[in-house]
């Protein structure tokens, strides 16, 4: 098999400052790569996600993307959606819809809107949205290492990845959590806690995905999308707010969440290219 040099970008997402958000690796023009090669490269980068830009197969899409974690492929993920769109635009991608870009991925078509200095995706409709059952809740509380009385509410939220989410009583509780997943059945766990009124961010968020080889994700678009749908729908959050994520990891991710007049939740933030070059891959 011949080695091919493909354009490669690494984009930091949910930050204006390089190295303070969540990086995604993007391989351009990847149509000739096999599934096994994509998966192997994702394991090699060892980032929470690596994406592969492909020609679209659905009418109305500007491009198609496949999203891999070190543990396998995802039908959708948030920060890779924004980072891949950034990389596609930077490589002279021309959206048919002007300021709207349409991405094709495993959950279908996802719209991304462009604004000054930022991108935002339309959160896909939930495939599942329900309270955790007693067994699931007990497992999540034990894995999270938080007191049961600190849990204000809880949900199983699935928009591609399925997240078990605990809403706890404060951002400090989230920051102080020291989860332990040894022997735990929990594959993906989100923690959310409010900051005091008047703080720069409304919530602190943390996302753990040991089931797919990601002990803690620095900043998680899919989790924030599901949480944003849940909290704005139930009145626990205003229709527009900013969430902080990555603090414990030395990052400073800022996720902007907005529910528009039609009820669509948008999740966005700044994106910045950190690496741009070529990757030697085998088709």
pLDDT band with cut points at 50, 70 and 90 for residue 4: confident
Average pLDDT over residues 128-139: 98
For 92-130, write each residue's pLDDT tens digit.
999 998 899 999 999 999 999 998 889 999 999 999 999
Q: Which residues pair with 49 in a beta bridge?
A: none
Gap between the Cα atoms of 133 and 279, Å rounded: 45
- What is the Cα–Cα distance from 267 to 241, expressed in whole angstroms? 10
Rounded percentage of the chain residues whose pLDDT exceeds 90 = 94
What pLDDT does 106 receive? 96
**pLDDT score at 251:** 98
pLDDT at position 263 is 97
Look at residue 6 and tell me whether its pLDDT is greater than 90.
yes
Q: Quick check: is 258 catalytic?
A: no
- Average pLDDT for 196-211: 96
Q: What pLDDT score was predicted for residue 115?
A: 87
Whether the CB-CB separation of 21 and 260 falls below 8 Å is answered with no
Strand boundaries in the chain, DSSP class E? 3-13, 22-27, 50-54, 63-69, 72-74, 100-105, 108-115, 118-122, 128-130, 151-158, 162-168, 189-194, 203-209, 214-217, 240-245, 253-259, 265-269, 271-282
Domains assigned to the chain: 3-123+269-282 (3.10.310.10), 128-262 (3.10.310.10)
Task: Kindly name the residue from 17, 49, 149, 239 that is annotated as catalytic.
Answer: 49
Report pLDDT digits (tens) over 43-55: 999 999 999 999 9
Per-residue model confidence (pLDDT) at position 271: 98
Average pLDDT over residues 81-95: 97
Q: What is the pLDDT of residues 211-256, one digit of tens each?
A: 999 999 999 999 999 999 999 999 999 999 999 999 999 999 999 9
């Amino acid at each position: 098999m011949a080695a091919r040099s493909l354009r490669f970008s690494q984009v930091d997402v949910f930050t204006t400052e390089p190295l303070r958000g969540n990086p995604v690796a993007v391989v351009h023009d990847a149509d000739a790569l096999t599934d096994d090669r994509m998966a192997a490269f994702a394991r090699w980068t060892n980032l929470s996600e690596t994406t592969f830009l492909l020609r679209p197969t659905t009418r109305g899409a500007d491009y198609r993307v496949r999203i891999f974690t070190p543990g396998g492929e995802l039908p959708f993920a948030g920060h890779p959606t924004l980072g891949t769109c950034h990389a596609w635009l930077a490589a002279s991608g021309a959206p048919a819809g002007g300021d709207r870009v349409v991405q094709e991925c495993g959950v279908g078509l996802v719209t991304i809107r462009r604004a000054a200095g930022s991108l935002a995706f339309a959160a896909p409709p939930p495939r599942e949205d329900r309270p955790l059952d007693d067994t699931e809740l007990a497992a999540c509380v034990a894995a999270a290492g938080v007191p049961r009385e600190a849990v204000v509410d809880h949900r199983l939220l699935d928009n591609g990845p399925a997240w078990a989410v605990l809403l706890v009583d404060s951002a400090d509780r989230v920051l102080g959590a020291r989860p332990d997943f040894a022997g735990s059945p929990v594959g993906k766990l989100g923690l959310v806690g409010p900051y005091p009124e008047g703080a720069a961010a409304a919530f602190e968020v943390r996302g753990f995905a040991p089931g797919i080889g990601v002990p803690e994700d620095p900043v998680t678009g899919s989790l924030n999308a599901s949480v944003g749908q849940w909290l704005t729908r139930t009145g626990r959050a205003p229709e527009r707010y900013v969430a902080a994520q990555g603090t414990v990891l030395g990052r400073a991710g800022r996720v902007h969440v907005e529910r528009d007049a039609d009820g669509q939740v948008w999740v966005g933030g700044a994106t910045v290219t950190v690496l741009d070059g070529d990757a030697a891959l085998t088709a």
